[in-house]
Structure 1
Amino acid sequence: MSLSPIDITIFLLSISVILFFARGFGELLRYFKQPIVIGEIIAGIILGPTVLGTLFPGTFNSLFNQSEVVVIALNGITLLGVVMLLLISGIEIDLSLVLRQSKAAAIISLLGIIFPFGIGFFSAYLFPQYLGLTNYNLRLVYALFVGTALSITALPVVARTLMDLQIFKSEIGYLIMAAAMFNDLIGWIIFSIVLGMIGQNPEHSISLSSLIIVILGFILFVLLFVRKFINFAIPFLQKRFTFPGGVLNFIFVLGFLGAAFTEYIGVHAIFGVFIVGIAIGDSVHLKEETREIIYQFVTNIFAPLFFVSIGLRINFIENFDLNLVIIFLVLAFAGKVIGCSIGAYLGGLNKNDSLVIGFGMNSRGAMEIVLGTLAYQYGLINEKVFVAIVIMALITSISSAPIMSYFLKKAKTKLRFDMLLKNETIIFTKATSKSEIINELCTNVANFYKLNFNTVYNEVIKREAVISTGLEKHLAIPHARIDIKEPIVSVAIQPKGIEWNSLDNLPAKFIVLLLTPVDKPEIQLKLLSDIAKKFNDVRIIEDIISSKDSREFISKVKQLY
């Protein structure tokens, strides 16, 4: 079977139309501060049987359905698009960040998988008739699929949302990213097993237990050995081959080989390329410029072809089931928000920040749509379930940013001392003088927050010269207003005490450096009042300064709130 000149013309015309509409609607959604991927899916719905196929069926069939070879070619290029999309999703995962997760991030990751997976699995297994299952022989596999689809967080959507809200590099931002990365990794492992249970490659099928062993062996081989090989090969290629062509060729060859292997053993190609992507992204030698080239190439050309193709497959109006959509939305919000919020709260965050993390992790987007597409292609779900999953993914992605923004604004109105504490800015000092300890505190915040030391130190000393900041009961709060956007705190603990010319003549053992924005004097007053009220008892301060490390210190402070 070969392409005739008219087939080639239709194929190229179809690609052009898809890319044009994808970019147009993507930019329109970006204007309204929504993820571009949502615009690309809407473009597909408009070009597909839902709109174009209903209003102009002849045009729709001529472009996308008339020629069998053109349909095959379009399916091939959209498969390439989703494989490349999972490659860059893997590259975006910072393996070191996942491995060194803090206690809070680990708990968020764990409960962010257990809760939604459990709710989805048991709902689908116990009440399959309400979740659209028609083939009861696939009851277990379907329940596993629903649990997995509700568990995975869309990493690209999350990262974009955090950047838009300007909290990507904040403590909450790092917690969400680390937890989302771990969610993606575990979710894809589970889904790869689900695909194996469906048995889509009978010529090379193996038993489920053997499949699990092969999958785990593949992961270990890639992350232990291939990762080291990549780390050695990339600087060699960058030095000996043309840049960036040599490295790009190497990355895509490895990715496609990983995809081919997992497709061969009965698991979809996307799992293999995803794991290889993680190994590639972990290389310290991979230049940011190379990452950006791959990202732009895939997200602007190949990924849009896949997301638009979603709308080309199904009539969304004919297959819209309101009850099914509501059920999936309730399960999605309840499982993810509750699970991640409880995880964040158990990890030591306050209720408001826990809800920020819960809704931040609730973004589904591209990854759920990829899962739904594969499940639909393999006959595991029908059209109505697929439409419900796509709508669920879109609504959770669209709602994430405004809900997070609401709770972030709420947190700012309830600004408290304990919210500003970080392990890295707590010092257990042996300093013997006021000037020495102020120097240590200023050095600490200057290094951690990338501030100018002289500016910070001079402003603090200038304020200290006006009147001593030593209060009562071993508490001192040196402070200043400088050119920053958010308040900063650093704490020094000196159990023996330092002379600070305090109001009650007691030495300062608990010293808090408070820096606030120069244009927001009300924040300084509010935080000074908050600290003074919470630490107005000698017994409280003695208990606080007896902490063995920064984690214990923060835990004790949070208990006061």
Structure 2
Amino acid sequence: MTDVLLRAGHVVAVLAVVLVAAHVGRLAARAARQPEVIGEIVAGILVVPAVLAVGGTPALTAVLPTDVVSPLKVIGEVGLVLFLVGVAYDLRHGGSGLGARAIGWVTAGSFLPALLTGLVMAAWVVWVADPDVRGDAPVPALVLMVAVALSVTAVPVLARVLEDRGMADSPAGRLAMAAAVVTDSAAWVLLVVAVGINGGIVVSLILIALGVTTTAVGRILLRGRGPLSAAERFPRATGAAIAALALLAAFQFEHWGLTAVFGAFVVGLAIPGGAWAAAVRPVMAFGRLLVPVFFVVAGMGVASAPRGAVPWVAIVLAIGLAVLGKVGGGYLGGRLAGQDRRTSVTVGVLVNTRGLTEIVVLQAGYSAGLLSVRLFLALVVMALVTTGMTGPLLSLIERTRTRAPKPVPVPELPGSTP
């Protein structure tokens, strides 16, 4: 009994340290005029390397022994699942108020070129990179996984950037958000397919069909007046029920061989809009609070890479291709949608925001054995760099707009008609 209490106290202490580190990371990111999630991700991932730097492997073993890491992993996955329920809910019910043609062009521009650059990156990994970067995942699964990794846009981080900068109602902001919603929906599906290829495509297709059916049935059942009335009268109890169902679905689908992300999306996409938002928001907020624990577990994977084996070529290539696919593709989509150059380049910069969503995708691929430690590290750095570029590039665009020469008024000639 004493050992159990000591272990529980150890877990609580580490959890408190992680949450404090996340808070410090948010403050630092805010001071640097970066999205707060950047600070959370960096703080979470650096916890393990910081312990290693201070005390070496013995300190890491003492601070994070196996019987503490296992509960932390579960806590991080619980937070991730609850957070993604809200993400899926927002993906379903988000709107832009823009024309279908404009949204279609921007979506195609922000997704297809990025997917193509992802295929280029995957080809380099398969045919050129060292075996320790390549890993031993099946080629189709690896190629699809890398392509997805370079095509993701983080809807939650993008929403926060638009809110912080007052761009939510601007043409560029609305176009980027609409494109990100569609792009992320496609990326999650492709991620599930990639994981499924690694685990058995036939079984995975059956499970995907089961998930889609469950979502459709859930939508029908929850549309009734009875469930809506319960959500309105008892939002907290309804939120607890949603959280329980999401965790059950997530871990069951993971047990069957798919990622827990899929189970979270099955539940989140089934929830109607309107009054149900009051039940979903606390679930998402609680999950968001625990997500930094997920980053610590990811940091342990990054820290396990051999010293002196940083894949610099993979990092540089990933960043270059990621920026080319998203910024270039977003700009092209904006121009084809009839937007001016400044709006189009702003759209490209916005859809290049990856952040939390990208880290979740990469961790899912790493946990499924699709990414080697070094390739995972390279793509994590790419996600942080591309997301960190968003704020400075937007400021640069704003400064160029401010400095743009204003038209000189032409003086009226004497006797001219006003």
TM-score (norm 2): 0.87
**Which has more helix, going by share of residues?**
2
- Report the AA paired with residue 305 of structure 1: V
The match for 1:546 is none
Cα distance in 2, alignment partners of residues 99 and 276 from structure 1? 26
The match for 1:303 is 291
Cα distance in 2, alignment partners of residues 527 and 3 from structure 1? 79
Cα distance in 1, alignment partners of residues 36 and 89 from structure 2? 20
The match for 2:171 is 171
Residues 66-77 of structure 1: matches in 2 within 5 Å? 68-77=66-75
1:414 CA drift (Å): 5.5
Contact 1:125 1:140 in 2 (8 A): no
1:143 CA drift (Å): 1.1
The match for 2:185 is 185
1:214 CA drift (Å): 4.3
The match for 1:294 is 283
Cα distance in 2, alignment partners of residues 286 and 63 from structure 1? 41
- Report the AA paired with residue 244 of structure 1: P
Q: Does 1:228 align with 2:220?
A: yes
Q: Return closer, same or farther for 1:98/1:174 CA change in 2, 3 Å cut-off.
A: closer
Q: Select which of 187, 205, 212 maps to 2:205.
A: 212
Extract unaligned runs of 5+ from structure 2. 411-418
The match for 1:6 is 6
C-alpha deviations, 1:115-149, integer Å up to 9, x for none? 11112113313552545543466222111111000
Q: Does 1:370 align with 2:360?
A: yes
1:96 CA drift (Å): 5.8
Contact 2:137 2:370 in 1 (8 A): no
Cα distance in 1, alignment partners of residues 97 and 196 from structure 2? 27
1:409 CA drift (Å): 4.1
C-alpha deviations, 1:17-58, integer Å up to 9, x for none? 11121212222212322222222232234421x222122134
Q: Select which of 360, 384, 387 maps to 2:374.
A: 384
1:264 CA drift (Å): 4.2
Q: What SS is found at the alignment partner of 2:323? A: helix
C-alpha deviations, 1:82-137, integer Å up to 9, x for none? 21221121122244628986211112112322111112113313552545543466
- Report the AA paired with residue 184 of structure 2: D
Residues 102-501 of structure 1: matches in 2 within 5 Å? 102-125=100-123, 128-131=126-129, 133-135=133-135, 138-199=138-199, 208-209=201-202, 211-212=204-205, 214-216=207-209, 218-219=211-212, 221-222=214-215, 224-232=216-224, 234-239=227-232, 243-280=234-271, 282-287=272-277, 289-300=278-289, 302-315=290-303, 318-411=308-401
Cα distance in 2, alignment partners of residues 411 and 357 from structure 1? 15
The match for 1:496 is none
C-alpha deviations, 1:141-182, integer Å up to 9, x for none? 111111000011011111111112211122221111110011
Contact 1:131 1:385 in 2 (8 A): no
Extract unaligned runs of 5+ from structure 1. 200-206, 416-521, 530-561
The match for 2:36 is 36
Range 161-170 or range 147-156, more displaced: 161-170
Q: Return closer, same or farther for 1:100/1:228 CA change in 2, 3 Å cut-off.
A: farther
Contact 1:337 1:358 in 2 (8 A): yes
- Report the AA paired with residue 376 of structure 2: F
Contact 1:122 1:143 in 2 (8 A): no
Q: What SS is found at the alignment partner of 2:275? A: coil
Q: Return closer, same or farther for 1:2/1:319 CA change in 2, 3 Å cut-off.
A: farther
1:405 CA drift (Å): 2.8
Contact 1:3 1:69 in 2 (8 A): no
Q: Return closer, same or farther for 1:126/1:61 CA change in 2, 3 Å cut-off.
A: closer
Cα distance in 2, alignment partners of residues 83 and 137 from structure 1? 25
Cα distance in 1, alignment partners of residues 207 and 308 from structure 2? 41
**Which has more strand, going by share of residues?**
1
Contact 1:165 1:401 in 2 (8 A): no
Q: Return closer, same or farther for 1:96/1:296 CA change in 2, 3 Å cut-off.
A: closer
Q: Return closer, same or farther for 1:137/1:260 CA change in 2, 3 Å cut-off.
A: closer
1:359 CA drift (Å): 0.8
Higher relative contact order (CA 8 A, sep 6+): 2
Cα distance in 1, alignment partners of residues 96 and 141 from structure 2? 28
Cα distance in 1, alignment partners of residues 266 and 115 from structure 2? 22
- Report the AA paired with residue 163 of structure 1: E
Q: Return closer, same or farther for 1:137/1:217 CA change in 2, 3 Å cut-off.
A: closer
Cα distance in 2, alignment partners of residues 87 and 3 from structure 1? 35
Cα distance in 1, alignment partners of residues 135 and 232 from structure 2? 56
Aligned residues: CA RMSD = 2.8
Contact 1:81 1:303 in 2 (8 A): yes
Contact 2:83 2:285 in 1 (8 A): no
Contact 1:79 1:306 in 2 (8 A): yes
The match for 1:53 is 52
Of structures 1 and 2, the larger Rg is shown by 1
Q: Return closer, same or farther for 1:39/1:346 CA change in 2, 3 Å cut-off.
A: same
Q: What SS is found at the alignment partner of 1:97? A: coil
Contact 1:117 1:150 in 2 (8 A): yes
Q: Return closer, same or farther for 1:94/1:391 CA change in 2, 3 Å cut-off.
A: same
Q: Return closer, same or farther for 1:103/1:412 CA change in 2, 3 Å cut-off.
A: farther
The match for 1:84 is 82
Q: Return closer, same or farther for 1:167/1:239 CA change in 2, 3 Å cut-off.
A: closer
Q: Return closer, same or farther for 1:260/1:32 CA change in 2, 3 Å cut-off.
A: same
Q: Return closer, same or farther for 1:62/1:214 CA change in 2, 3 Å cut-off.
A: closer
1:279 CA drift (Å): 3.0
